[in-house]
Structure 1
């Protein structure tokens, strides 16, 4: 089946506390989002890659591509006000049937192995979403405070989340814009089964300065 990748990097990165959005910050010699794009290009050099960016930073991206000699083919898509809007714009640009991988642009440490496993499962089952078991105790907010819940019943969800293009397009066209934080929850809202596979601890999402330091440390270990 044809493979497509949508790299979502349309956020403002407010929690990072920097003027430049987090996806453009340098991580071990390369902007964060470039590392995410590179992972998918290394997995499949022929796949079509769409990169969702804030429209006001298109020029910034162009300058970064020149500065870092970044030449991996990709198509830029303007981000919307919400993640739902951003991904919806990109999904509609996918031509033909195949598998669409939606990946957070600020998960730059995703491995080729995880991408491969996600595509393999999605090709057989129609979808694949990486997730990890929770190792810490968790509590749930209630009307009367909080209560303890069994952590074995929950997972932390990662990306890439991969779906058949027909299913994902249907979901985005028919869903009411809501507080969907990922594609799995949107597809799930239509009663469509979502297949979970084992994720990776190193596949962290960079949202604050500490995450960037952790990512730098992980990359330093890779060099040893």
Structure 2
């Protein structure tokens, strides 16, 4: 089996949190959100290498307030780009002899080992995979005038999470192409779908939430107290 690498993106701002601190450094139960994310990956036997992608201005802060303070080791720290896809591409370019790569949002602090291990398995089997959950709410397609146009069957919908998992040769090729062609994507599954690749969607978890708003912190506080990794 080839090497399995994880890219953790830690470039989120605290704008919607109403915080001047980047959200991955906001503390929950006395630990930064990024602590929980990194701890799971470092303790997962499936992961051989971790690349942490950060804004240049926050690298030293992260070293002192997360990595050194909580004795967390990553393989490399890479400077992020202006957009999320640029940060991913920067992380992909430093990998060597990588077979499978997992790309994860640093602001999803409660990803489980099961999700990570399943992602590696399905990426090897299908080439690309991502966890997801069925939306709890009914989803409406909204027209330009503001009226509902139709209601998709919720059973066919999937709210996609991370880590998004790929054969390295596939995802790096697609990122090279979108960079050359100036294509904007909202996540990495979209980057490969544009070029005709398929993504296998496997079962995620509702607790694998992306912390984005102050309301998310309420649930994050509860989850952190139940978190099994110390």
Q: Is the 8 A contact 2:34 2:109 kept in 1?
A: yes
Deviation per CA, 1:200-224, whole angstroms, max 9, x where unpaired? Answer: 010000011111221111233457x
For 1:26-175, what aligned pairs fall within 5 Å after superposition? Answer: 26-44=27-45, 47-65=48-66, 68-145=69-146, 146-150=148-152, 151-175=154-178
Give the Å deviation of 1:18. Answer: 0.8
Q: Is the 8 A contact 1:7 1:104 kept in 2?
A: yes
Deviation per CA, 1:188-211, whole angstroms, max 9, x where unpaired? Answer: 111101111011010000011111
Structure 2 Cα separation of the partners of residues 170 and 162 of structure 1: 14
Q: Is the 8 A contact 1:121 1:127 kept in 2?
A: yes
SS of structure 2 residue aligned to 1:138: coil
User: Which runs of at least 4 in structure 1 moved beyond 3 Å after TM superposition?
Assistant: 176-179
Gaps of 5+ in 1: none
Deviation per CA, 1:51-76, whole angstroms, max 9, x where unpaired? Answer: 11111111211220366232323311
Find out whether 1:209 has 2:214 as its counterpart.
yes
Aligned partner (choices 174, 184, 197) of residue 192 of structure 1? 197
Moved more, 44-53 or 157-166: 44-53
Q: Is the 8 A contact 1:30 1:68 kept in 2?
A: no
Moved more, 72-81 or 192-201: 72-81
Match of 1:219 in 2: 224
RMSD between superposed Cα atoms in Å: 1.7
Gaps of 5+ in 2: none
Q: Is the 8 A contact 1:10 1:54 kept in 2?
A: yes
Q: Is the 8 A contact 1:84 1:177 kept in 2?
A: no
Query: Taking structure 2 as the reference length, what is the TM-score of the superposition?
Result: 0.91
SS of structure 1 residue aligned to 2:140: strand
Give the Å deviation of 1:180. Answer: 1.4
Query: Taking structure 1 as the reference length, what is the TM-score of the superposition?
Result: 0.93
The alpha-carbon distance between structure 1 residues 120 and 45, as it changes in their structure 2 partners (threshold 3 A), is closer
Matched residues, number:
223
The alpha-carbon distance between structure 1 residues 209 and 203, as it changes in their structure 2 partners (threshold 3 A), is same
SS of structure 2 residue aligned to 1:137: coil
The alpha-carbon distance between structure 1 residues 143 and 120, as it changes in their structure 2 partners (threshold 3 A), is same
Q: Is the 8 A contact 2:102 2:163 kept in 1?
A: yes
